[in-house]
């Protein structure tokens, strides 16, 4: 831990030295919520978000905040170790081409609905999920698609001498619709209740004693499950492509982590709702994944179970430049030279791509070093080739 701020209703515990003023004010807002518990934890990759800093962990008592989860519910990472220890440049380029033809990126969906058997099952049937049931047919065509923003498919070389595949993606439009619906409902209810929470904080809440609060948790969990199914579907497509190029290849079991969700957990002797918005769970001996930016290393880590972070760690490197700011200020040729000097097949082609350049993000090595009380590194993964959403 780097510092503790003790000027608010509850402390703010931080794993970074410098934080932008907007994100710090959001952390202060969290610490002054009437139902916030014990302290607020701010991870090493934290930066300004919508309502709550990305890279934040908030514990509440019987209350859930849709904006403290965000619109990409269940966004996370799947990674897979292969039996390959090397890969030729020609083969790598061929695999990348096949992935681009097979997996839709950005706003694109599959032309046909995917196999419904790959979708999550609703315990009480789809009719019990108001928003999910409305979006279900559309979600069938979104299953196995990457999305945009900072989502990626990356082929990597591990410090264990194996070739790895990593996929970062979320719940697509399904999670977006669920998040927006319940946040809108929460805003209206908070106004009706004359909530003590300042509406400018964008932290409208739902009590879990209400049907609406419970329904949000159930639909949110379905989106978390859908995001995992989405990643696994893409992972299976990538595995098939690798098998076409290397028939003798073998794969380990995939490792999956989500970093946008709320869950009931016990901390400091109390049952709580833990909101992780851009934060990875890191219970003792629990395996996790912390991806770097395009062109930088990613890490397989093992949690140390530090209760001061609510057993959490960072979810990535974290932005240091906003998207528009990166496009305005970063130099295109410098970013391309950086990637090509590292022999990485990349997706930086024009100024508009600079929002996802390495220069837009914090240094992943410093971020990892800042949380040595939260995690230990198991495997370092160097990027070989990347497809961006």
Q: What is the pLDDT of residues 193-209, one digit of tens each?
A: 999 999 999 999 999 99
pLDDT for the residue 338: 96
pLDDT for the residue 211: 96
pLDDT for the residue 182: 98
Positions in the chain whose pLDDT score sits under 50: none
Catalytic residue among 259, 275, 315, 346: 315
pLDDT for the residue 264: 97
Strands 36-47 and 12-14: parallel
pTM of the model: 0.97
315 is catalytic: yes
pLDDT for the residue 124: 83
Which residues in 264-302 are b (16+ Cβ under 10 Å) and which e?
Answer: ebeeeeeebbbbbbbbbbbbeebbbbbbbbbbbbbbbbb
pLDDT for the residue 127: 87
Asked if residue 131 lies in contact with residue 139, where contact means CB atoms within 8 angstroms, the answer is no
Alpha helices in 301-352 (DSSP H): 323-329, 332-341
CB neighbours (10 Å) of residue 261? 25
Domains annotated for the chain, with CATH where assigned, are 3-320+361-388 (3.90.1860.10), 321-360 (no CATH)
Q: What is the pLDDT of residues 97-131, one digit of tens each?
A: 999 999 999 999 999 999 999 999 998 889 899 99
Q: CA–CA separation, 348 vs 59, rounded Å?
A: 39
Q: Residue 55: enclosing H or E segment and its boundaries?
A: strand 54-60
**How far is the CA of 260 from the CAs of 57, 74, 175, 227, 236, in angstroms?**
10, 5, 10, 10, 23
CB neighbours (10 Å) of residue 86? 9
């Amino acid at each position: 831990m780097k510092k503790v701020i003790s000027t608010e209703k509850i402390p703010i515990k931080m794993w970074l030295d410098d934080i932008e003023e907007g994100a710090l004010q959001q952390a202060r807002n969290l610490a002054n919520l009437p139902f916030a518990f014990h302290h607020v934890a701010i991870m090493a990759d934290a930066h300004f978000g919508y309502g709550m800093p990305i890279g934040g962990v908030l514990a509440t008592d019987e209350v859930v905040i849709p904006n403290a989860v965000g619109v990409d519910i269940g966004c996370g990472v799947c990674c897979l170790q292969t039996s390959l220890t090397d890969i030729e440049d020609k083969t790598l380029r061929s695999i990348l081409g096949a992935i681009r033809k097979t997996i839709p990126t950005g706003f694109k969906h599959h032309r046909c609905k995917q196999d419904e058997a790959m979708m999550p099952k609703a315990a009480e049937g789809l009719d019990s999920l108001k928003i999910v049931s409305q979006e279900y047919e559309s979600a069938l065509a979104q299953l196995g698609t990457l999305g945009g923003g900072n989502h990626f498919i990356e082929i990597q070389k591990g410090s264990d001498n194996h070739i790895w595949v990593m996929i970062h993606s979320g719940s697509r439009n399904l999670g977006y619709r669920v998040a927006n619906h319940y946040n809108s409902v929460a805003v209206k209810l908070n106004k009706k209740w004359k909530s003590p929470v300042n509406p400018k904080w964008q932290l409208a809440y739902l009590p879990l004693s209400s049907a609406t609060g419970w329904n949000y948790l159930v639909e949110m969990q379905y989106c978390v499950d859908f995001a995992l199914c989405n990643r696994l579907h893409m992972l299976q497509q990538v595995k098939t492509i690798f098998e076409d190029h290397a028939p003798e290849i073998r794969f380990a079991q995939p490792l999956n982590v989500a970093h946008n969700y709320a869950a009931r957990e016990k901390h400091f002797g109390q049952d709580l709702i833990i909101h992780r918005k851009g934060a990875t769970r890191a219970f003792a001996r629990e395996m996790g994944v912390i991806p770097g930016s395009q062109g930088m290393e990613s890490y397989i880590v093992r949690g140390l179970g530090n209760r001061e972070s609510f057993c959490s760690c960072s979810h990535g490197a974290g932005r240091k430049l906003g998207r528009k700011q990166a496009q305005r200020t970063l130099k295109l040729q410098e970013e391309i030279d950086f990637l090509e000097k590292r022999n990485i097949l990349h997706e930086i082609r024009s100024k508009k791509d600079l929002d996802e350049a390495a220069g837009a993000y914090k240094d992943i090595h410093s971020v990892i070093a800042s949380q040595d009380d939260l995690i230990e590194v198991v495997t370092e993964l160097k990027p070989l080739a990347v497809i961006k959403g």
